[in-house]
Amino acid sequence: MGSSHGGYVSHLMAKLMPWEIDGVIDNSSYAKVFLPLVGFAKEINFVKYYEASYIDPKYTNLKLNFFTKTHFTSNPNSPYYFSKAHYRIRNILDEDHLQIQAQFPKTIYRSYHSVQDLRLAPPEDKIQLYNTLQKLGFDACLTMIENENQIDGKFIKNLEHGMGMSLKMLINKELPIMLEKISKQKKKINIKKITYPSENLLYTFFKNENDFPQFLLEYF
């Protein structure tokens, strides 16, 4: 389970090794790659894709945007070019990849999201993701918080990103029901290997004979 980026990582773990993840409980994760966290967004649009920002009350006409820099770059001539293939494997909302994931034991998904979470985690992406999961036969439920009547001041405190949600209350609300569902599942699988074609790359995730996670990247 997780909130925001933690929820994204939870979804990503279920994608890369679906036989390991029985259930995901999420608050306000993004369904697509959040570019500012990849580490080269300043090269694309330093006004739009900032990781954090600050405005000093004394200088309201001056806004400071902050960025993290990694080896990744938007330069196609660089060995660290962040290509479409790199983007797709990190996306949760990739319908081709979801169809592959659906061939394995299906993770149970429970998620909460604010309709006003526009910059960090657009709600329309999350709605599309959960609609796709349901069409593919996943037990997936998205609770969209749409108005102030749903704010109780304890579990949900606002309509901003994360909604000020109490993770303890989220666990108490969703985990017992999910564990009961999981206990009734017959989830046996001998093949612990999944491959995602992504443009010119093949991403393979598997477990070896010692039950140790492995990763293989091939060009084709």
CB 27 within 8 A of CB 7: yes
pLDDT value for 212? 82
CB 205 within 8 A of CB 215: yes
C-alpha 209/C-alpha 203 separation (Å) is: 19
Predicted confidence band at 211 (pLDDT cuts at 50, 70, 90)?
confident
Q: Where are the domains of the chain?
A: 2-32+91-190, 39-81
Q: Is the pLDDT of residue 209 over 90?
A: no
* Burial class of residue 96, CB neighbours in 10 A (0-12, 13-18, 19+): exposed
Predicted confidence band at 190 (pLDDT cuts at 50, 70, 90)?
confident
Instruction: Give tens-digit pLDDT for 87-115.
Output: 999 999 999 999 999 999 999 999 999 99
Q: How many CA atoms lie within 13 Å of 73's alpha carbon, on the beta-carbon side?
A: 8
Instruction: Give tens-digit pLDDT for 143-184.
Output: 999 999 999 999 999 999 999 999 999 999 999 999 999 999
Query: Model's pTM, two decimal places?
Result: 0.92
Predicted confidence band at 194 (pLDDT cuts at 50, 70, 90)?
very high
CATH superfamily, with its number, for domain 2-32+91-190: Alpha/Beta hydrolase fold, catalytic domain (3.40.50.1820)
Which residues in 82-180 belong to E strands, given as ranges? 108-114, 140-145
